[in-house]
């Protein structure tokens, strides 16, 4: 009894750690993505992952996390590649191309995942958990793997933060001064794809992009510096991920993804209203103060 309890709590702790690391890294990577105004790229990558999960299962017959996530990553990259090709060769606009990739790849993914049992792949049960996220099935080994991926992603961002910030702020100047702008863009989008895939088990394909987008947007309210924003965004991602996972553990059958997104949305709402300077309340106060000082200026006159 005590041994079993100890085992469970070890697993729970490790899974929580892994999810926390993924949340942090997603927020960190997401900052670069949002600053470069590529927030929807993550969405395209995320929705493409289901096809990869299904194909990896079909190709190998295995359903361990590593196999499925490798498939998901490949599919995410293919989805992003389609995005690039669509824009370059069909002159489809950015938003339309993104919507196209999201819709088509997701339709394909859902068809595959939901059709597998009907086609005789009885042991495919569980793949649909990648739709909305389910951490209950995660093992300690899975969690360590996710934590390792998250650490690598954070390390890469730390290494190229200067270059990525330059490209995000002023790509023309970056190109004119000799920086490989598209190379740096590919690196950032590749990191986003990586974090989308790492967030898949906890948050699921439909909502994982929120873990990449909401934390940086919330963090932006509190600071005017990129470095601070990146760290803060990571912390918000961490809190949201852990809170969501903890909440979903309170009732069996509760999907994790929606709860993670709700937790992130709460942080966003607090930031939107309460942040100094950029928050809604502060801006209202500033505006009315400006009005007041105008009035008092008027009264000073002769």
Nearest to 204 by CA among 274, 94, 126: 126
47 binds other proteins (CB under 8 A): no
165 binds other proteins (CB under 8 A): yes
29 binds other proteins (CB under 8 A): no
Nearest to 261 by CA among 247, 277, 241: 241
- The span from the CA of 266 to the CA of 174, in Å, is 36
Candidate list 7, 125, 159, 270; residue touching other proteins; CB under 8 A: 159
Residue closer to other proteins, measured from CB, 64 or 170? 170
Closest approach, Cβ 104 to other proteins, in A, equals: 27
Q: Name the burial class of residue 212, with classes exposed (0-12), middle (13-18) and buried (19+) by CB atoms within 10 angstroms of its CB.
A: buried
Nearest to 267 by CA among 251, 250, 279: 279
224 binds other proteins (CB under 8 A): yes
6-14, 120-128, 186-194, 224-232 -> range binding other proteins (CB under 8 A): 224-232
12-20, 78-86, 103-111, 223-231 -> range binding other proteins (CB under 8 A): 223-231
Residue closer to other proteins, measured from CB, 66 or 175? 175
- The span from the CA of 200 to the CA of 210, in Å, is 12
Residue closer to other proteins, measured from CB, 199 or 234? 234
- The span from the CA of 281 to the CA of 284, in Å, is 5
119-127, 129-137, 139-147, 167-175 -> range binding other proteins (CB under 8 A): 167-175
CB 165 within 8 A of CB 173: no
286 binds other proteins (CB under 8 A): no
Question: Cβ contacts of residue 167 below 8 Å, gap of 6+?
Answer: 36, 174, 179, 181, 184, 185
CA angle 4, 8, 13 (to 5 degrees): 145
299 binds other proteins (CB under 8 A): no
Residue 282 token pair: 């502060």
Candidate list 229, 241, 242, 263; residue touching other proteins; CB under 8 A: 229
Closest approach, Cβ 178 to other proteins, in A, equals: 4
Number of residues that this document lists for the chain:
302
Nearest to 189 by CA among 56, 63, 65, 83: 83
Closest approach, Cβ 31 to other proteins, in A, equals: 9
Candidate list 7, 137, 155, 170; residue touching other proteins; CB under 8 A: 170
Candidate list 179, 254, 266, 282; residue touching other proteins; CB under 8 A: 179
Closest approach, Cβ 54 to other proteins, in A, equals: 39
Candidate list 120, 122, 225, 251; residue touching other proteins; CB under 8 A: 225
Residue closer to other proteins, measured from CB, 144 or 272? 272
50 binds other proteins (CB under 8 A): no
95 binds other proteins (CB under 8 A): no
Q: How many CB atoms lie within 10 A of CB 63?
A: 15
CB 195 within 8 A of CB 212: yes
Nearest to 266 by CA among 234, 243, 235: 243
Where does this chain bind other proteins (CB under 8 A)? 35, 37, 159-160, 162-163, 165-166, 168-170, 172-173, 175-179, 220, 223-226, 229
């Amino acid at each position: 009894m005590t041994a079993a309890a100890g085992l469970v709590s070890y697993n729970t702790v490790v899974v929580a750690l892994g999810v926390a690391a993924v949340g942090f890294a997603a927020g960190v990577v997401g900052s670069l993505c949002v600053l470069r105004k590529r927030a929807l790229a993550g969405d395209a990558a995320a929705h493409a992952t289901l096809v990869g999960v299904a194909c990896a299962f079909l190709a190998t017959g295995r359903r361990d996390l590593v196999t499925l996530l490798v498939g998901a990553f490949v599919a995410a990259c293919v989805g992003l590649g389609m995005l690039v090709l669509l824009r370059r060769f069909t002159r489809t606009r950015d938003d339309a191309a993104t919507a196209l990739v999201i819709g088509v790849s997701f339709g394909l993914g859902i068809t595959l995942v939901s059709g597998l049992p009907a086609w005789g792949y009885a042991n495919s049960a569980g793949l649909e958990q990648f739709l909305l996220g389910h951490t209950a099935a995660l093992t300690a080994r899975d969690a360590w793997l996710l934590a390792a991926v998250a650490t690598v992603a954070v390390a890469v961002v730390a290494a190229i933060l200067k270059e990525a910030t330059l490209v995000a702020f002023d790509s023309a100047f970056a190109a004119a001064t000799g920086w490989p702008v598209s190379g740096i863009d590919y690196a950032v989008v590749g990191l986003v794809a990586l974090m989308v895939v790492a967030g898949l088990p906890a948050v699921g394909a439909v909502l994982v992009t929120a873990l990449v987008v909401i934390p940086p947007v919330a963090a932006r309210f509190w600071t005017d510096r990129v470095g601070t924003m990146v760290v803060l965004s990571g912390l918000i991602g961490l809190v949201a991920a852990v809170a969501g996972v903890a909440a979903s553990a309170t009732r069996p059958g509760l999907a994790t993804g929606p709860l993670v997104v709700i937790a992130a949305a709460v942080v966003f709402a607090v930031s939107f209203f309460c942040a100094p300077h950029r928050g809604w309340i502060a801006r209202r106060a500033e505006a009315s103060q400006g009005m007041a000082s105008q009035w008092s200026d008027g009264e000073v006159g002769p």
